[in-house]
Structure 1
Amino acid sequence: MSPVEQWPPFDGTSAAADIIIVGTGPAGAAYARILSEERPDLLIFHFDAGPVVSDPPGAHVKNLLDDEARASAQRRSEGPAPTDHAMTDTMAGYASDAARIVRPGTYLLDDGYRVGDQVGLPALAFSTNVGGMGAHWTCACPRPGESERIEFLQDLDDLLDEAERLLGVSADLMADAPLAGEVRKRLSEGLDGRRTRAVGPMPLAVRREADGRLWWSGSDVVFGDVTRANPHHRLFPQTLVTKVRTAAGEVRGVDVRCLVDGSTATIDAPVVVVAADAFRTPQLLWASGIRPPALGRYLNDQPQVVHAVKLRDVPPQAASRAAGPIDEASGVSWVPFTVAEPFHGQVMQLDASPVPYDGDILPGEVVGLGWFCAKDIREKDRVEFDDQIQDGFGMPAMKVHYELTEADRRSIAAATSQMVAIGDLLGEAVFGDPIEFPPGASLHYQGTTRMGQHDDGRSVCDDTCRVWGTTGLYVAGNGVIPTAMACNPTLTTVALAVRGARAIAGAAVPTQPSAERLGSHA
């Protein structure tokens, strides 16, 4: 990576940059990458509250082949109070009906995840590390379709193309995994005749190395060599941005606190990009006194239902190809969202059964089905912030107001019914009926800093991701997505970050030469 350092001397003295980026997940990394490509003259200070847990910084923990190293990276991603649970693989909890699922590398909100007798988001989870949730995600990168698309972005397909480049997306790399063809054949026979979007291989952010191993994309891939070689991009881990400073409707910079020793500093900059996540981005804006009416509102998660089946009647030739071990995410098939069937499905062949199973199982013969439903988006589903109570980082505490509507219940019921029918097509159920995960389990939180065409109180930013009413302030991440998406949001999130970064690259920044701002850090 370009220099990774703690801010010296962190004694409260001020410094200056051209652009400040808050958060190093795929969206924050996309800003750094595009700006490094298009405006390498700009001095970028990039802050993350979490530690570096991989080499290169931001890499996916699945690329850490040593179990102890991966466990350490996951524990260090778990915020102010890491768990002491044993190392588990990323399929742990797949068949769980626990009320508050927690996955390695993430941590739950202790309080405030529901109000009164509301449903809330009991499985609301975070990661705090360089790379953000991009160090722990499934790497699924489907394109949005039909009503998932943002209709007022005429260049959306170009942006999605660019996002695929940054993430290293391929729909073909694992399409010929053992038994994958048989799975897609059965899915297509049962579904394609009535659907406007056909079943296919899931586009995945992954590449195959020269030695044959897979490298799963994290923020390291998005940063790319150009960012790592950019001497004007400076990454500061374990540094919390506590306030975005503004005056007369313009950004002036940020206040930061070192989480290692508690010291503080002020950094001047005319442009700030907040790419924390769908909860901590509005939290920082709120703490900074930047409070557009839609901030934190239109919160939506994706109701999620899971199932698992063992393939029946596996053809002998297919079985012979499944003789060896497979990666746990081999052969991911995709059932795209449609308006008529408002849910998105991913069918993942597992390297083992998620629950104890009697009898022999070929690698890939047990298939996990995960269906994500589009949320009925409402303004009153929201996260609020309490200035009188602090969270573990000393920021305003969160309080989630969230309900499932009758429309949501119908979608969940329809998704469950379809999942049972598809399970019957594929084989025999492994753990009985499908399981509805608790709200928040999808980790696909959206809408809290949503994009819009007009400053009418129903959006936080414009179509370049600039916050309404504040010159130089941009937001990024899943929270910017304004539509009811059921598909995995990362590809769209990176696409929107590309749009914002291009807008900054074309603007009149900086006001003084970057070299002068480097000072003693050149």
Structure 2
Amino acid sequence: MGRHFPDDVDVAIVGSGPTGAAYARILSELRPDLRVAMFEVGPAVTDPPGAHVKSIADEDARADAQHRSEGPSSPAADGRLRRAGTFLLADGFQQADEDGIPSVAMSSNVGGMGAHWTCACPRPGDSERITFIPDLDDLLAEAVRLLGVSTDAFDDAPFAHEVRRRLATVFDEGRPAERRVQPMPLAVSVGDDGTVTWSGSDVVFGHVTRNNPRFTLHAEALVRRVLVEDGRVTGLQLIDRTDGTVHEVNAREVVVAADALRTPQLLWASGIRPVALGRYLNDQSQIIHAVRLRDVESTTASRLDPRGRTTVVRQSGVSWVPYTDAEPFHGQVMQLDASPVPLAPGDVPEPGSIVGLGWFCAKELSAEDRVTFDATETDGYGMPAMRVHYLLSEADHAVLDRARDSIKRAAAALGDPLDPEPRTLPLGASLHYQGTVRMGAVDDATTVCDPVSRVWGVDGLRVAGNGVIPTSTACNPTLTSVALAVAGARNIAESLPAARPMQEEVSR
């Protein structure tokens, strides 16, 4: 962490979420000669910086970290669904005669949304996959390494195998092995004493980044312009949010990894406005349901974790019903401790006996689904105000109907539903916004960047995050977006000429 801003760096990274952290990690491993600086608009809310808030043992400290992540103003008090640690778009989230995205939300803190996510890391399948990237599986494997993904962290949970067996009777027939019901890959580790540590950007940074003397992380630094001359990045302009001073940092490469809303916002504010910027915005409509498992024996094993809280997650684990083109939705089956939404409030008679189901639906892509920016009005950070244009198509409604039927069949196989019908959450509740700086094989006005995330027409500028994903997906996007960040970082490592020595080395 640093308060002094450098004058010159080789690579400047805007945003400290998992994809920005992936750039820092890969560059620290492959090009330790490069000077890399990261700038985050929010504060550091954990120690180490970028850790997942669920790993904070003290509940009051955890709540404070979440509150400090909630942006420049108080969350809207208008009844819209909001997850702790995030803040809602104050206005502009819905236009006349459109569905909008009422629960569209962001986080501002070191680690970004990686400090608050559910850590689910499924691989994309069928049409979710990006076909013009031939080494996608290698990149996904590297993302697994960086995020610390495990498929067996909760494999000893007493109800996990039974839950998957029951789900398999409904979904496995006719599916290839890799698309059958299976444990959900999770970015999590479980210690010998049962301590559960959820991965945040701190895990992605790793020791190699933290020990890199040429890497610096600057919190509470609002980057408001990417500087460009003659079609080439020269650096960025930022405001120190602790004292309001303005600074410029020269950089040979700039990576904007803010999020799927603020990355296009920064490009637009910088006068970088490709035709596809902000377009093809897509969210994953989410349906939830809850059941009580039938015919399972009570167990006293692993009911309490070292922090004294009920560890429901170790009772039924987290299972995955993968996306297929035939069934264009993706299912997460988890106990309530791992769910971002309180599915079954009230008494839970036996730990692990109440299971939450969440089905995520792929969206039909449209250039008209977009986020635009106002030339005169500003948001709480003084950046161009956002306006979301978003409409569910007939095909989207048809997928939602099929997903409701699917989740009801899953619930019936598992046990007794707690409510007669599943609940469809407000748009935006998934937090899986994608497409706004989408990647493509060619510059054809439907994409913003190339397969290694270089923005078309601006040398030295790259984008990162879920907004880069060009396909319609139902699976959680973080693993894919980190994989794409790996490709971009490797390309920088291969192509950027050797760095000049740091000033202190020259003086010696």
Q: Scaled by the length of structure 1, what TM-score is found? A: 0.92
> Would the aligned equivalents of 1:43 and 1:518 in 2 still touch at CA under 8 Å?
no
Q: Give, in whole Å, the separation in 1 of the partners of 2:467 and 2:489.
A: 16
Tell whether 2:109 aligns with 1:109: no
Change (3 A) 1:193 1:99: farther
Tell whether 2:311 aligns with 1:327: yes
Residue identity matched to 2:453: C
Partner of 1:454: helix, strand, or coil?
coil
Tell whether 2:224 aligns with 1:238: no
Change (3 A) 1:513 1:210: farther
Partner of 2:172: helix, strand, or coil?
helix
Tell whether 2:202 aligns with 1:248: no
Q: Work out which of the residue numbers 125, 134, 139 in structure 1 matches 2:114.
A: 134
Name 2:436's counterpart in structure 1.
448
Q: Give, in whole Å, the separation in 1 of the partners of 2:213 and 2:11.
A: 14
Name 1:25's counterpart in structure 2.
17
Partner of 1:455: helix, strand, or coil?
coil
The CA deviation at 1:478 is 0.1
Superposition map of 1:345-356 within 5 A: 345-350=331-336, 354-356=343-345
The CA deviation at 1:83 is 5.0
The CA deviation at 1:193 is 1.3
Residue identity matched to 1:264: V
Tell whether 2:3 aligns with 1:6: yes
> Would the aligned equivalents of 1:33 and 1:226 in 2 still touch at CA under 8 Å?
yes
The CA deviation at 1:517 is 8.0
The CA deviation at 1:443 is 0.1
Residue identity matched to 1:340: A
Name 1:93's counterpart in structure 2.
none
> Would the aligned equivalents of 2:13 and 2:38 in 1 still touch at CA under 8 Å?
yes
Partner of 1:469: helix, strand, or coil?
coil
Name 1:474's counterpart in structure 2.
462
Change (3 A) 1:377 1:430: same
Partner of 2:299: helix, strand, or coil?
helix
> Would the aligned equivalents of 1:75 and 1:83 in 2 still touch at CA under 8 Å?
no
Superposition map of 1:123-522 within 5 A: 123-196=103-176, 197-314=179-296, 316=297, 319-320=298-299, 324-325=303-304, 327-330=311-314, 331-350=317-336, 354-356=343-345, 361-510=349-498, 512-516=499-503
Q: Give, in whole Å, the separation in 1 of the partners of 2:283 and 2:230.
A: 35
Residue identity matched to 2:33: D
The CA deviation at 1:236 is 0.4
Residue identity matched to 2:64: S
Moved more, 177-186 or 230-239: 177-186
> Would the aligned equivalents of 1:99 and 1:122 in 2 still touch at CA under 8 Å?
no
> Would the aligned equivalents of 2:321 and 2:332 in 1 still touch at CA under 8 Å?
yes
> Would the aligned equivalents of 2:75 and 2:88 in 1 still touch at CA under 8 Å?
no
Residue identity matched to 2:45: V
The CA deviation at 1:518 is 8.2
Residue identity matched to 1:200: Q
The CA deviation at 1:212 is 2.6
Q: Give, in whole Å, the separation in 2 of the partners of 1:136 and 1:127.
A: 9
Q: Give, in whole Å, the separation in 2 of the partners of 1:404 and 1:99.
A: 22
> Would the aligned equivalents of 1:309 and 1:426 in 2 still touch at CA under 8 Å?
yes
Q: Give, in whole Å, the separation in 1 of the partners of 2:474 and 2:343.
A: 24
The CA deviation at 1:320 is 2.7
Partner of 1:309: helix, strand, or coil?
strand
> Would the aligned equivalents of 1:31 and 1:498 in 2 still touch at CA under 8 Å?
yes
Q: Give, in whole Å, the separation in 2 of the partners of 1:64 and 1:184.
A: 30
Question: What do residues 40-95 of structure 1 show as CA deviations (whole Å, max 9, x unaligned)?
Answer: 0100111000000001000000000101110110000000014599xxxxxxxxxx
Residue identity matched to 1:54: T
Q: Give, in whole Å, the separation in 1 of the partners of 2:504 and 2:264.
A: 29
> Would the aligned equivalents of 2:313 and 2:352 in 1 still touch at CA under 8 Å?
no
Residue identity matched to 1:497: A
The CA deviation at 1:401 is 0.3
> Would the aligned equivalents of 2:335 and 2:356 in 1 still touch at CA under 8 Å?
yes
Residue identity matched to 2:261: F
The number of residues matched between the two structures is 496
> Would the aligned equivalents of 1:375 and 1:485 in 2 still touch at CA under 8 Å?
yes
Residue identity matched to 1:100: R
Moved more, 424-433 or 257-266: 424-433
Moved more, 173-182 or 403-412: 173-182
> Would the aligned equivalents of 1:22 and 1:48 in 2 still touch at CA under 8 Å?
yes
Q: Give, in whole Å, the separation in 1 of the partners of 2:336 and 2:444.
A: 47
> Would the aligned equivalents of 1:238 and 1:260 in 2 still touch at CA under 8 Å?
yes
* Percent identity over paired residues: 57
Q: Scaled by the length of structure 2, what TM-score is found? A: 0.94
Q: Give, in whole Å, the separation in 1 of the partners of 2:228 and 2:267.
A: 11
- Which runs of 5 or more structure 1 residues have no equivalent in the other structure? 9-13, 86-97
Residue identity matched to 2:34: L
Name 1:94's counterpart in structure 2.
none
Partner of 2:290: helix, strand, or coil?
strand
> Would the aligned equivalents of 1:175 and 1:332 in 2 still touch at CA under 8 Å?
no
Residue identity matched to 1:265: H
Q: Give, in whole Å, the separation in 2 of the partners of 1:225 and 1:378.
A: 42
Question: What do residues 291-341 of structure 1 show as CA deviations (whole Å, max 9, x unaligned)?
Answer: 011000000000100000001111x3xx33657245354400000000000
Q: Give, in whole Å, the separation in 1 of the partners of 2:371 and 2:313.
A: 33
> Would the aligned equivalents of 1:17 and 1:517 in 2 still touch at CA under 8 Å?
no
Q: Give, in whole Å, the separation in 2 of the partners of 1:350 and 1:262.
A: 42
> Would the aligned equivalents of 2:288 and 2:343 in 1 still touch at CA under 8 Å?
no
